[in-house]
Amino acid sequence: MNDKQIFTLFRSLLLPAMQADTNLAEVELARNFQARQQGASSGPIVYYFKVSDRRYGHPKRRDVWNSTTGRFDSVDDQQYQSTIQFSAWIPQDPANVSGLTESDILNMVSGIMQSDAMLSAFRAAGVGILRIADVRNPYIVAERDRFEAVPTFDIDLTHTRTRATTTPAVVAYEANISRV
C-alpha cells in the first residue's frame, strides 16, 4: 500500500467517524504540508502527515507466470511500519471557558482511531494499527508573542508494499560442455 492509498484510507474512514461525533462535526480533516499553499484554515482542523517508514524483515519474493504477457512477474512484498502524526488547530476564544482545546480534539480523534469499528475497517483494508501513542502537549511562542499549545499524537500502522517487475521467459537454452 502506498502513501496516497493510506491517506485516502484515513480520509474515507476517519472523517465520517469524526462527523458522526457531535463534538467533532465541524472539525475538518486534511493532510498537512501539501504541495499547494492555500492559506490557514479559518475553522477547527485536524492535520495528519507521514513521519517515517520502517521496513521489517526481508522481502517475500515470488515469480508468477503471467499468461497474458507471456512473461514472469517477479513480485516482492515488504512489510512496513509507517508512523503518521496528527495535530490540531482550533481557534480559541479566551472568553469561552467551556470550549474544546486542540488537546481535547486530538484525544477524541485518537479514541475514534482505537475503536473496534475503526480497527476492523483498517484491518479489512489490509492495514493494521500497531499503536496509538500519547497526546503530547508542548507549548510554543506564536507569531503574536502568545503561548500556544501544539499537541500531537502518532499512530504506527503496519502494511505491505508490493513491488513487481517483469522478466521475459527463457525461449531457448543451449547447453555447451567444454574442456577446461
- What pLDDT, in 10s, does the model give residues 164-173? 888 777 778 8
pLDDT at 119 over 80: yes
pLDDT (average), residues 149-166 = 92
Q: Which residue has the higher pLDDT, 108 or 179?
A: 108
pLDDT value at residue 40: 66
14 neighbors 155 (Cβ within 8 angstroms): no
Mean pLDDT (the chain) is 88
- pLDDT band for position 108 (50/70/90)? very high
Chain CA centroid to CA 47, Å: 11
What is the Rg, in whole angstroms, of the alpha carbon atoms belonging to the chain? 23
DSSP 8-state class, residue 67 = T
pLDDT at 118 over 80: yes
- pLDDT band for position 16 (50/70/90)? very high
Q: Which residue has the higher pLDDT, 180 or 135?
A: 135
What is d(CA 122, CA 129) in angstroms, rounded to the nearest whole number? 7
Share of the chain above pLDDT 70, in %: 95
102 neighbors 113 (Cβ within 8 angstroms): no
Amino acid 15 reads L
144, 145, 44: which is closest to 104 by C-alpha?
44
* Overall CATH class of domain 3-168: alpha beta
- In the block, which residue shows the cell 503496519? 158
